[in-house]
Homo-oligomer: A and B are copies of this chain.
Amino acid sequence: MRLAMIGLGRMGWGMASRLLRTGHEVVAYNRSPEKARQLADQEGALYAESLAEVVSRLKAPRVVWLMLPSGQVVDAHVLEFLDLLAAGDILIDGGNSQFTDAPRRHDAAKARGVRYLDVGVSGGVWGLQEGFCLMIGGPRDAYEQVEPALKSLAPANGYLFCGQSGAGHFVKMVHNAIEYALMQAYAEGFSLLEHSPYSDSLEFAEVCRMWNHGSVIRSWLLELAGRAFAEDPRLDALKPWVDDSGEGRWAVHQAVEAAVPAPVITLALMERFRSRDENSFADRLLAALRNQFGGHAIKKNA
């Protein structure tokens, strides 16, 4: 089928390429148009230099897939496309949007007769080769209409209609929250190995390989850990600085709103905050208190 891909960052580029390689036609658009032209050259995309041109190169019912940074950029594009699209068309947000944004956008689209899908996409830089895992929310008929593209984007069995508007991004949010906690689990485990009496005799890439064959904790993340250790056995080149994107935060908000205990997910997020704080105020207060009551030594800045 033919559809438009708006936004050719890491994810959008990979998805457009995978669609093209599996027989679909993609109208590519990117704010800086070179990327779109590049995709045309390399992978055979059609391309457009304005949103209006995007729409003109599609046939009704048109399908437009947004792969944009979450927040106002998505809202702005939704508004623009709702002016350009017609009743019966389909607008998809495949970015990492907050699930609470979907029903609002869905309703705005519906008022114009446009069907709005929220699609959570997992797979990262490996998606082009291995397929993207897709979580879909919104009107079921729209989902069914774009299913040929979903089928091509995903590996076999790798996509699911999750429910009404917001369900796709909700399930993706939970996916990312689990991801944070899984990563923290492995990080703590390897830290125990690193700081153990057996540290010197352990090649961590070998440990990953071994655990990935037959153990209870085998996983794709552990394979990636193995690749990381193969490149840099003790990760000496890296700084202990860990970013977070919005979805872990939204998941904690959701846990709190729904009164669902999610301690390891929350701690995994907060450890990332901690990693970026080189002069913890909390820790300075702890040091100050120990000194106040116990006369314990404190370390002073030079």
Name A208-234 residues within 8 Å CB distance of B: 209-222, 224-225, 227-228, 232, 234
Chain A interface residue number, banded: 35 or more
Give the contacting residue for A256; candidates B174, B198, B218, B252; CB below 8 A: B252
Encode contact with B along A121-136: 1 for CB under 8 Å, 0 otherwise: 0111111001111110
Name A229-246 residues within 8 Å CB distance of B: 232, 234-244
Q: How far is the CB of A301 from chain B (nearest CB, A)?
A: 6
Residues of chain B contacted by A215 (CB below 8 angstroms): 122-123, 133, 158, 175
Residues of chain B contacted by A179 (CB below 8 angstroms): 216-217
Do A284 and B239 form a contact, CB below 8 Å, given A184-B181, A221-B216, A221-B217?
yes
Residues of chain B contacted by A242 (CB below 8 angstroms): 283, 286-287, 290
Chain copies in the assembly?
Answer: 4
Q: Does A53 contact B (CB under 8 A)?
A: no
Bound complex: CA of A157 vs CA of B213, how far in Å? 6
Q: Does A65 contact B (CB under 8 A)?
A: no
Q: Are B184 and A264 in contact (CB under 8 A)?
A: yes
Q: Are A198 and B163 in contact (CB under 8 A)?
A: yes
Do A196 and B254 form a contact, CB below 8 Å, given A124-B216, A186-B289, A287-B238?
yes
Q: Are A191 and B260 in contact (CB under 8 A)?
A: yes
Closest 10 CB pairs of A and B: A163-B201, A219-B219, A158-B213, A181-B185, A240-B283, A133-B214, A133-B215, A239-B299, A187-B282, A160-B210
- Interface set of A (CB-CB < 8 Å, partner B): 10, 122-127, 130-135, 137, 154-160, 162-164, 166-167, 170-171, 174-175, 177-179, 181-198, 200-202, 206-207, 209-222, 224-225, 227-228, 232, 234-244, 249, 251-277, 279-301
